[in-house]
């Protein structure tokens, strides 16, 4: 399907949905005039209008005017929204949920039985087109729908198809993991401030250090342990610093954090 032929709707117009649409527009994946977003008030819709997208307060209008429909509401609101739009969902629709904790099984139960359902889990850096996303497909979504979604979302960062059981793990690893990285960046910068560097400069250098390290991981394909070893020299500064991190159980603590966030995501799905 050509980008000019694809009509994309967003039921919900929060920050994550806005980040995705910016990526689609900047990559030329779909024209702004083909995007329609709904929200109860104008609070979030003004930003969409500034991008050239169409807006409405009617969820049903989004479904009627779109082929690809993204669900981007709060979890507790979604069942009511699905009840509202269910009569308008036809065999031609592709419905993609961004909603945390709502399984494909639940989506398929609340939508017509023929609905092509996919579930994605983005993370905050999608807002700057550097996200990490995973998606899974329901029983009626085939290779064509999966390929279309991956093609579109790759403009917002890394996008991989996975079994649905990995989505909660992705939440613990990447969705929540962004916050772990921010905490580490803050600690790096504060360490430099302690040693006498101005805070603003320390923050910029910490951010660039993380960006460069991540870029090397992606572009070289090397295991993190290999790259870490490359930085260390016998008796040098890095091995002394790593010794302190090991004494603080950094690796075990981060692993525990990923486990805790994953378990919480699983619990949310059961609520």
Residue ranges for the binding site?
Answer: 59, 72-75
In terms of Cα–Cα distance, which of 171, 118, 110, 107 is closest to 146? 118
C-alpha distance across the termini of the chain, in Å: 38
| 22 Cβ contact list (under 8 Å, min separation 6) | 51, 127, 129
CA dist 73 to 39, 139, 247, Å? 9, 23, 43
- What is the C-alpha separation between 210 and 163, in angstroms, rounded? 29
- Could you tell me which residues are annotated as the binding site for NADP(+)? 72-75
Which residues carry a binding-site annotation for NADPH? 59
Helix (H, G, I), strand (E, B) or coil at 4: helix
Q: What is the DSSP string of 167-235?
A: HHHHIIIIITHHHHHHHHHHHHHHHHHHTT--HHHHHHHHHHHHHHHHHHHHHH---HHHHHHHH--TT
């Amino acid at each position: 399907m050509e980008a000019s032929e694809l009509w994309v709707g967003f039921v919900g117009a929060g920050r994550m949905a806005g980040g995705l649409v910016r990526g689609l527009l900047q990559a030329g994946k779909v024209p702004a005039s083909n995007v329609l977003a709904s929200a109860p008030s104008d609070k979030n819709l003004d930003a969409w209008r500034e991008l050239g997208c169409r807006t409405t307060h009617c969820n049903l209008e989004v479904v009627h005017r779109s082929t690809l429909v993204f669900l981007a509401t709060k979890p507790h609101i979604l069942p009511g929204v699905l009840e509202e739009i269910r009569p308008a969902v036809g065999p031609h629709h592709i419905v993609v949920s961004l909603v945390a904790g709502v399984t494909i099984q639940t989506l398929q139960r609340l939508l017509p039985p023929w609905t092509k359902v996919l579930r994605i889990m983005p993370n905050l850096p999608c807002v700057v087109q550097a996200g990490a996303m995973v998606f899974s497909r329901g029983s009626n979504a085939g290779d064509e729908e999966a390929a279309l979604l991956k093609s579109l979302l790759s403009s917002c960062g890394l996008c991989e198809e996975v079994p649905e059981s990995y989505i909660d793990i992705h939440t613990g690893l990447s969705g929540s993991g962004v916050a772990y990285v921010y905490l580490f960046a803050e600690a790096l910068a504060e360490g430099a401030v302690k040693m006498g560097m101005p805070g603003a400069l320390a923050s910029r250098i910490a951010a660039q250090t993380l960006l460069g390290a991540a870029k090397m991981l992606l572009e070289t394909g090397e295991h993190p342990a290999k790259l870490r070893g490359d930085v260390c020299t016998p008796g040098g500064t890095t091995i002394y610093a790593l010794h302190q991190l090991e004494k603080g159980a950094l690796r075990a603590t981060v692993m525990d954090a990923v486990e805790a966030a994953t378990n919480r995501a699983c619990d949310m799905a059961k609520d």
